[in-house]
Amino acid sequence: MPIDETLSTYSDWLYTTAAAIYVVALMFSLIEQGFGAKGRLATERAKLRARELVGAGGPPVEDVPAGQREVGRPERIGRMGASLLVLGALLQLTAIVLRGLAVHRAPWGNMYEYGMAVTFIAVVTWIVVLWKFPVRHLTGFLLLPVVILMFINGTLLYTTAAPVQPALQSYWLVIHVSAAIIGSGVFLVPGVASVLYLFRAAYEKSTATDTLENHTVKFARFASKLPAADVLDRIAYRTTIFAFPIFTFGVLCGAVWAESAWGRFWGWDPKETCAFIAWVVYAAYLHSRATAGWRGARAAVINIVGFAAMIFNLFFVNLVSVGLHSYAGVG
């Protein structure tokens, strides 16, 4: 079937619009992160007062009037940023759907489409995290790598809408690649959470031991505005443990597809090798969490290494190497 150029153009416009909205949401989040500490402290105090009322026979926490929970301008800007985040995700989802309708297949047959879907999954994962944890002011830290990846994806990796090569014309395109997309996209969240965890854990350790020196004042100002290290650790662990089985399934499906297409399950192709390295690193992270001596900062470092391996495999392998996965298209 012929390519629908109109739908493809609309998809490109919506992708660019979503990226622009993410940039605005990023700036709004940074404003809340930088100037909303007083508001967050006031909110925590209001919750504490509410609990005291409950203990004294007062109304439940959720029945406390909203006026007791002080919301400043930075918090309102942060809420606007969260709303823009949802809007950007909806536009990006529409861009993905229109791309699929334009090419009459699953819309992840080349690196541009793959990157579009991965960044969308990362944003959706973060929206779910916001629903579970009070970390809205950290949205900018997640959106920064997302925006950078979307820029690289829309420039260096952009590919015009076209049919896929014969090697990709298989139902495995839907099964294997969709699993890889979900796993890779979700893995972006624990990577960011682990980086922030190291900052916060170092700050908590220094304040607990009274070793915070004058030259670390700026570091203290930044780290003190982050959620507790335990919260960041739980975000990293829960998202990793969700993504790991999906990514594992994707790797196994890739091996089955490789045997069907190329006559072997494994050939040490650069893409295969990097995916395997990332899988080993994340397996080591989950194992370290089960080993008491390797929890905390050590486990976070392992997760960050996995995050770096995933980013390298996600984009840069196709730019610096040639292998059997090169048919995925770079330009």
User: What is the chain's pLDDT, residue by residue, as a tens digit (331 residues)?
Assistant: 788 999 999 999 999 999 999 999 999 999 998 887 655 555 445 545 655 555 555 555 444 444 444 567 888 999 999 999 999 999 999 999 999 999 988 888 888 999 999 999 999 999 999 999 999 999 999 999 999 999 988 988 888 888 877 666 777 778 888 999 999 999 999 999 999 999 999 888 877 666 555 546 566 778 888 899 999 999 999 999 999 999 999 988 888 887 776 677 777 777 788 888 999 999 999 988 887 667 788 899 999 999 999 888 876 776 665 555 554 454 4
**CA distance linking residue 316 with residue 229, whole number of Å:** 31
Residue with tokens 């959106």: 143
Distances (CA, A) of 226 to 79, 192, 216, 229: 17, 12, 16, 8
Q: Are 139 and 25 in contact (CB under 8 A)?
A: yes
Token pair of 184 as six digits? 């890779």
Q: Six-digit token pair at 147?
A: 């925006």
Residue that has been written with the tokens 């995933």 in this structure: 310
pLDDT given at position 65 = 46
Q: How many CA atoms lie within 13 A of 92 on its CB side?
A: 27
Q: How many angstroms separate the CA atoms of 200 and 206, rounded?
A: 10
Side chain identity at residue 80, one-letter code = M
CA–CA gap between residue 31 and residue 241 (Å, rounded): 31
pLDDT at 193: 95
Q: What is the pLDDT of residue 177?
A: 87
Measure the CA–CA gap between 285 and 260, rounded to whole angstroms. Answer: 32
126/23 Cα distance (integer angstroms): 15
State the DSSP H helix or E strand holding residue 111, giving kind and residue range, or none if neither.
helix 111-132
Nearest-angstrom CA–CA distance, 29 and 306: 26
End-to-end alpha carbon distance in the chain = 22
Chain-centre distance for alpha carbon 172: 25
Residues ≥6 apart with Cβ < 8 Å to 171: none
**CA–CA gap between residue 138 and residue 219 (Å, rounded):** 16
Q: Which domains does the chain have, with CATH numbers?
A: 165-331 (1.20.120)
Cα distance between residue 13 and residue 95, in whole Å: 8
